[in-house]
C-alpha cells in the first residue's frame, strides 16, 4: 500500500492584515422613515443604528471586495501573487455561478488562487477564517484572503417595519498567513436548523421568476426570537471559545461581536461579565448590520481609530441566518 506524503504547512496561522470598504452614500434614519411608520428615537433605542451605507450601482459585491482586499493585502505587507486562496462569504451575490471569488482573485492579480464563495450568513466571516486557517496549517496555501461582503440594500423590504432600518452594505477583508505561535484559536461553531425560519428570505427566487409572487425577495426575521437566541445562546458559545483558547475574560483586550443590534451586544457584554478594560466594537451605530462584512469592518475601524492595537487579544463571534454561529479568539494584526 502506497503511503501518501504528509502535508507540510505552517505550524499555526494568524491574521496579518485587514481592510474595509464602506459605500460613499450615507443613509440616515430619516430616509428609512419615509417608508415605515416609526421614529428616529425608536430605531436608535431598538438597534443603536443612526446611519448606514448603501451601495451605488458601481459599488458591486466584487468592486467593494476588491477595494477592501487591496487594503488588507497592503496592510499584510505581501503581494497579491502570494495569495493562494480567496474565500468570499456573502448572501447578496445574485449570480448562482460562477463564484464571485474567482473574478475577485483574477482582478487582484493572484496567481490562479483557489477561489470559492460560502453562504453562512452573519457567521460567514468566522467560517471563512476557520477554513483559511486549515488551508495554511494543512499546507495548501501560504496566504489566504477572507472576505465578508454584502449589498443587503438589495434584499431589504423598505416597507417591513421590523427590518427596513437594519441593513447596510460594505466589505471587510483579512489576509491570513503563517505563524510560529498560536494566533487564531479553536473555532466553536455549529448550526440550529430547527430555528431556520427565524431569519430567512421571504420567498424563493423561483417563486418570483414564475410570478407566484410579485414582490422581490427580501430578508425577514422574527426579532424577539432572534434576540433571545443571540443573547442567551451566543453568550454561551462565546464563553466556549474563550475556554477552547485557554483564556479568561480578564485576558481579553477586545470584543468584536457580529454587529446585529446594540442591545444584543450590550447584553452579551453583561452576561460574559467583560471587564471595563475590554474594548467593545459598536460599529453598527454608523454602519448598520452588514452580515458577513460586519466583523472585519468593525475590526478595521477599531484598529484605524486606535481603540484597538496590533497584538491585542480579541474574541470574535458571528451568528445569524441558519441559524449558524462561529466564535474564536484571535490576535489582531
Which residues are marked as active site?
122, 258, 289
Helix (H, G, I), strand (E, B) or coil at 163: coil
Alpha-carbon span 266 to 145, nearest angstrom: 31
For residues 187 and 137, the answer to whether their CB atoms sit within 8 Å is no
Residues forming beta bridges with residue 277, ordered by sequence position = none
Alpha-carbon span 39 to 56, nearest angstrom: 26
Which grid coordinates are listed for 92? Answer: 447578496
Alpha-carbon span 87 to 67, nearest angstrom: 15
For residues 184 and 15, the answer to whether their CB atoms sit within 8 Å is yes
Which grid coordinates are listed for 287? Answer: 454602519
Helix (H, G, I), strand (E, B) or coil at 279: strand
CA 155 to chain CA centroid, Å, is 17
DSSP state, 52?
Answer: E
Amino acid at each position: 500500500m502506497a503511503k501518501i506524503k504528509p502535508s507540510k504547512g505552517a505550524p499555526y496561522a494568524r491574521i496579518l492584515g485587514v481592510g474595509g470598504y464602506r459605500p460613499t452614500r450615507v443613509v440616515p434614519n430619516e430616509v428609512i422613515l419615509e417608508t415605515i411608520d416609526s421614529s428616529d428615537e425608536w430605531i436608535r433605542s431598538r438597534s443603536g443604528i443612526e446611519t448606514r451605507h448603501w451601495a451605488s450601482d458601481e459599488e458591486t459585491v466584487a468592486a467593494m471586495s476588491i477595494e477592501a482586499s487591496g487594503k488588507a493585502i497592503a496592510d499584510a505587507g505581501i503581494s497579491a501573487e502570494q495569495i493562494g486562496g480567496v474565500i468570499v462569504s456573502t448572501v447578496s451575490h445574485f449570480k448562482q455561478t460562477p463564484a464571485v471569488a474567482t473574478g475577485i482573485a483574477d482582478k487582484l492579480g493572484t496567481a490562479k488562487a483557489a477561489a470559492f464563495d460560502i453562504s453562512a450568513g452573519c457567521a460567514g466571516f468566522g467560517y471563512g477564517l476557520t477554513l483559511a486557517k486549515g488551508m495554511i496549517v494543512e499546507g495548501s496555501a501560504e496566504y489566504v484572503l477572507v472576505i465578508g461582503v454584502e449589498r443587503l440594500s438589495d434584499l431589504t423590504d423598505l416597507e417591513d417595519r421590523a427590518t427596513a432600518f437594519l441593513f447596510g452594505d460594505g466589505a471587510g477583508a483579512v489576509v491570513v498567513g503563517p505563524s510560529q505561535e498560536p494566533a487564531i484559536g479553536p473555532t466553536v461553531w455549529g448550526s440550529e436548523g430547527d430555528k431556520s425560519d427565524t431569519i430567512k428570505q421571504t420567498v424563493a427566487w423561483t417563486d418570483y421568476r414564475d410570478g407566484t409572487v410579485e414582490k422581490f425577495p427580501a430578508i425577514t426575521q422574527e426579532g424577539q426570537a432572534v434576540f433571545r437566541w443571540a443573547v442567551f445562546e451566543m453568550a454561551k458559545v462565546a464563553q466556549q471559545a474563550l475556554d477552547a483558547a485557554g483564556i479568561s475574560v480578564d485576558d481579553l483586550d477586545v470584543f468584536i461581536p457580529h454587529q446585529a443590534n446594540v442591545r444584543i451586544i450590550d447584553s452579551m457584554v453583561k452576561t460574559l461579565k467583560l471587564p471595563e478594560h475590554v474594548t467593545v466594537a459598536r460599529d453598527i451605530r454608523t454602519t448598520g448590520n452588514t452580515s458577513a462584512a460586519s466583523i472585519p469592518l468593525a475590526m478595521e475601524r477599531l484598529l484605524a481609530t486606535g481603540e484597538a492595537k496590533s497584538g491585542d487579544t480579541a474574541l470574535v463571534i458571528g451568528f445569524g441566518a441558519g441559524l449558524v454561529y462561529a466564535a474564536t479568539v484571535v490576535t489582531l494584526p
